[in-house]
Amino acid sequence: MKPKAAIEPVATEAAHLVDRLERLARAGEQSGGLNPAQWDALRYLARANRFSRTPAALAEYLATTRGTVSRTLASLEEKGLIARLASDRDGRSVDFDTTKAGRALLAEDPLAQIAADIAQATQNDARLFADLLQRVLRAALARNQGRAFGICRTCRHFRRDAANGAQGPHHCGLLDVPLSDADSARICAEQSPAAA
Ligand code: SF4
């Protein structure tokens, strides 16, 4: 068996820092009348593209069960923060989207405080930091057989400026649909990272 590579102490320290940050981010999530799971779901629906706003995709993104997600979505719907829509792809399925009230609440998202801390620590140049975290996340997802849920424009199926339709200008080579500029910045359940 191949011996495991030694883990340098600073990598372990970095893992503890990520863990501590996650706890601090969660501690700020008792605001806006939502619990942490409800914040997670609301954020996901605001960031996901139109092919990915289903209970099944949300359950996979959050690594939780369909039952838990159903209860979370029902609470958000009751609060008027999300709305249920008939799926235009599958008549038996439903999609969800944020409402105006949901988007207004997201303007007060407590996670923005951590984002501000990152912006300050990186002097407003967080690209490298985000790329490194993305690589760490990919490795963890690969070990757990999870999907990437990455941003559309970084997908190997994304075809920039390849659509002719009014919904363009881009195109998805997997789903064969036009994609707008706004679509290209959203996360997708089908995303498959392009080779680096
Ligand atoms: S290009 Fe990739 S990420 Fe974008 S919609 Fe298609 S499958 Fe999803």
180 and 112 within one domain: no
Both 73 and 146 in a single domain?
no
Percentage of residues in the chain having pLDDT higher than 90: 71
Give the HSE-up count for residue 97: Cα atoms under 13 Å, Cβ half-sphere.
8
**pLDDT digit string (tens) for 35-93?**
999 999 999 999 999 999 999 999 999 999 999 999 999 999 999 999 999 877 777 77
Ligand 1 centre distance from Cα of residue 131 (Å): 19
Task: Tell me the pLDDT band of 112, cut-offs 50, 70 and 90.
Answer: very high
Q: Give the domain extent around 189.
A: 126-196
Domain boundary among 102, 125, 148: 125
- Domain identity same for 105 and 60: yes
Residues contacting 137, CB < 8 A, separation 6+: none
Question: HSE of 107 in the Cβ direction (CA atoms, 13 Å)?
Answer: 5
Determine the distance separating the centroid of ligand 1 and the alpha carbon of 102, expressed in angstroms: 25
Query: Relative to the CA of 171, which ligand 1 atom is closest?
Result: 1
Each residue's pLDDT tens digit, 77-111: 999 999 999 877 777 778 999 999 999 999 999 99
**Helix, strand, or coil here: 169?**
coil
Q: Are residues 62 and 92 in the same domain?
A: yes
Q: Is 190 in the pocket of ligand 1 (CB under 6 A)?
A: yes
Q: What is the pLDDT of residue 164?
A: 66
Q: Which of 61, 147, 175 to mutate to test the pocket of ligand 1 (most atoms within 8 A of CB)?
A: 175
Per-residue pLDDT, 2: 56
Looking at the structure, tell me whether residues 139 and 85 fall in a common domain.
Answer: no
Q: Is the CB of 153 under 6 A from ligand 1?
A: no
Residue 15 domain flag: no
Are residue 79 and residue 163 in the same domain, yes or no? no
Q: What is the pTM of this model?
A: 0.87
Answer whether residue 104 is part of any domain. yes
Residue 175 CB neighbours (<10 A): 14
CATH number at residue 65: 1.10.10.10
Residue 108 falls within a domain, yes or no? yes
pLDDT tens digits along 159-191 = 998 866 666 789 999 999 999 999 999 999 999
Q: Do 131 and 108 fall into the same domain? A: no
Contact 87, 96 (CB under 8 A): no
| Cα distance between the two ends of the chain | 29
> Where does a domain end: 91, 108, 125?
125
Ligand 1 close to Cβ of residue 191 (< 6 A) = yes
User: Tell me, what DSSP letter sits at residue 182?
Assistant: H
Calculate mean pLDDT across residues 122-135: 95
Domain annotation covers residue 35? yes
Same domain, 115 and 150: no
Task: Please give the distance, rounded to the nearest whole angstrom, from the Cα atom of residue 30 to the centre of ligand 1.
Answer: 33
The torsion angles phi and psi of 179, rounded to 5 degrees, stand at -130, 135
Specify if 39 maps to a domain: yes
152/30 Cα distance (integer angstroms): 31
Query: What number of residues does the chain have?
Result: 196
29 CA distance to ligand 1 middle (Å): 30
| Amino acid 167: pLDDT | 64
Across 146-160, average pLDDT: 92
Say if residue 136 is in the same domain as residue 90.
no
| 86/95 Cα distance (integer angstroms) | 6
What is the per-residue pLDDT for 187? 96
Domain count, the chain: 2
Which atom of ligand 1 has the smallest separation from the CA of 157? 1
Within-domain flag for 143: yes
152 lines ligand 1 (CB under 6 A): yes
Task: Please indicate whether residue 37, judged by its CB atom, sits closer than 6 Å to ligand 1.
Answer: no
CB within 8 A of 93, min separation 6: which ones? 54, 87
Q: How many CA atoms lie within 13 A of 119 on its CB side?
A: 7
Whether 81 is in a domain gets the answer yes
User: Which of 125, 149, 176 is the C-terminal boundary of a domain?
Assistant: 125
The verdict on 65 and 140 lying in the same domain is: no
| Inside any domain, residue 155 | yes
Query: Which pLDDT belongs to residue 127?
Result: 95
Q: Hey, whose CA ends up nearest to atom 6 of ligand 1? A: 172
pLDDT band at 3 (very low <50, low <70, confident <90, very high): low
